[in-house]
Amino acid sequence: MISVRGLSKLYGSFTAVRSISFDVGAGEVLGLVGPNGAGKTTTLRCLAGIISPSGGEIVLAGHSLANDPIAAKRALAFIPDEPHLFEYLTVQEHLRFIARLYGVVDVEARMPGILRELELTEKAASLPGELSRGMRQKLAIACGLLHDPSVLILDEPLTGLDPGGMRRMRETIAARAASGAAVILSSHLLNLVEELCTKLLVVRRGEAAGYGTMDEIIAAHPDLAGKSLEDVFLSLTSETPAGM
Partner 1 sequence: MNAFGYLIWTSWRNRFLGTLKRVRSPRYAIAAAVGVLYVWSFLFRPMGRVSPGATSFFFGHPTEMLITLLVVVTLMGSWIFGGDSTALAFSQAEVSILFSAPLSRRQLIMYKLSRSQIAVLINALVWVFILKRGGTAIPSPLRVIALWVLFSTLSFHRLGAALVRSAWTEHGGVGAKRHIASIVVFAAIGVMLLIGLFNGRHELAAAHTAGAFFTALGVVLSAAPAYWGLYPFHLVVAPTFAQSSAEWTRAIVPAIVITILHAWWVLHTDAAFEDAAIAASAARAQRVEAARGRRSVGTAAPRATKSTIALAAGGHPAVAILWKNMLCLRRTSQLRVFIAPLIMSIAIGWGVSSDALLGTAGTFAVGALVLAAALLLFGGRLLRNDLRHDMQHLPLIKSLPVSPHHIVLAEVASSALPLASVQTGLVLAAYAALSADPAAPFTPGIRLALAVASPFAVVALNGALSTIQNATAVLFPAWVRLGPQVSTGVEALGQNLLATVATLIALVLSLIVPIFVSAIAVFWLHETRAVAVALIVIISAGILAAETYAAMGYLGRALSRAEPLQTA
Nearest to partner 1 of 130, 171 (CB atom): 130
Q: DSSP for 144-159?
A: HHTT--SEEEEESTTT
Nearest to partner 1 of 33, 99 (CB atom): 99
Give Cα 236 distance to the centre of its chain: 21
In 3D, which of 231, 174, 215 has the Cα closest to residue 197? 174
Nearest to partner 1 of 31, 53 (CB atom): 53
Q: DSSP for 8-24?
A: EEEETTEEEEEEEEEEE
Contacts to partner 1 from residues 52-71, by CB under 8 A? 52, 69-71
In 3D, which of 59, 71, 74, 56 has the Cα closest to residue 1? 59
- CB under 8 A: which stretch of 89-97, 175-183, 199-207, 231-239 binds partner 1? 89-97
Q: Residues 15-54 vs partner 1: string with x where CB under 8 A?
A: ------------------------------x--xxxxx--
Choice from 11, 175, 180, 191 touching partner 1 (CB under 8 A): 11
Q: DSSP for 75-95?
A: TEEEE-SS----TTS-HHHHH
Choice from 7, 85, 120, 209 touching partner 1 (CB under 8 A): 85
Contacts to partner 1 from residues 92-151, by CB under 8 A? 93, 96-97, 99-108, 125, 127-130
